[in-house]
Chain A
């Protein structure tokens, strides 16, 4: 009987909004629980530390086939990742991710936001996506798209006050995320429009 387990296959990264997960296909053995261990290697380790690998404690001898590597992918350099299987008394060779992973390839989605009119005040609440994220918010009077205004929101702690609105006018808002550490932005969210209180009086 072959003493070694086959290495995990289909090793890949799922990375969205700066949260990175390593996934792989399960290794199956009749009647045995298979456990997996994950290690990473940054560009520093490859070039300055004898190509050493570093184990991820939270993903040592786990039964799941996914590992959250976000905390360890904390620099904008190329990382290698590998995973191996242990089952019964048997152990596999390392299965290594094809190519490298750099967090600047993460996919960025537009932020969730809620736009409200509080009397004459145009307010927006933005999704808290973590410390790496800033937001570019654009807002305008409906029909006056050419006179868009912009506000950069560096920290999402509470509702953001955008503008004081004209009575009865409709205002629209859209937003995108910006991640400074990788110098990239998401696409813009759908515009949301609200109407200020009061009716639009016509000045003669």
Chain B
């Protein structure tokens, strides 16, 4: 809920910066909601790593308030990523064929845009991710 409130505070600002409305990073061609439950932990682990490793660092803005909220989200993602790593180490977060394919698609969508546009679009799609993660609990 902390991530959700930080994102809600800057959602309009971030989504207004997304020039490419006809594309989605997380939902193209298939929605996250089609992922089987057995693969959910793996997808969540991979996607959180993706945001921490690739997305947030390219989301700097000229607005210090927005930057503070992005920092809040990024540090919360880092904290969750650490917890998920424990699951992965204990083999409770195995990756099947479907999650591997799905994550490849997300990376392909991301790399199909220039890095700043891709990062801002990914950040703007956080509500898609949060909705799906909360539904997967």
Contacts and interface: CB of A to CB of B under 8 A. Distances in A.
A72 B72 CA distance: 6
Given A45-B71, A48-B56, A74 B65 contact: no
B74 A44 contact: yes
A57 B78 contact: no
A43 B78 contact: yes
Contact of A44 (B52, B64, B65): B52
Contacts of B67: 54
Interface string B45-78: 0000000110011000000110110011011111
Nearest to A72: B68
B41 to A, nearest CB: 20
A56 interface: yes
B78 A77 contact: yes
Interface in A68-90: 71-72, 74-77, 79
A44 B1 contact: no
B68 A44 contact: no
A140 to B, nearest CB: 33
Interface in A44-65: 44-45, 47-49, 54-57
Contacts of A47: 78
Contact of B71 (A54, A131, A181): A54
A202 to B, nearest CB: 52
Contacts of B52: 44, 48
A83 B39 CA distance: 46
Nearest to A131: B1
Nearest to A60: B64
Contact of A75 (B1, B56, B75): B75
Interface residues of A, number: 21
B2 A44 contact: no
B75 A57 contact: no
A47 B78 CA distance: 10
Nearest to B6: A74
A57 B56 CA distance: 20
B75 A77 contact: yes
B64 A49 contact: no
Contacts of A40: 71
B65 A57 contact: yes
A163 B78 CA distance: 43
30 contacts: A40-B71, A42-B71, A42-B74, A42-B75, A42-B78, A44-B56, A44-B71, A44-B74, A44-B77, A45-B74, A45-B75, A47-B78, A48-B52, A48-B56, A48-B57, A48-B74, A49-B56, A49-B57, A49-B74, A54-B64, A54-B68, A56-B68, A57-B68, A71-B68, A71-B72, A72-B68, A72-B72, A74-B6, A75-B72, A75-B76
Given A71-B72, A77-B78, 17 more contacts: A40-B71, A42-B71, A42-B75, A44-B52, A44-B74, A45-B71, A48-B78, A49-B74, A54-B64, A55-B64, A74-B2, A75-B72, A75-B75, A75-B76, A75-B78, A77-B79, A181-B2
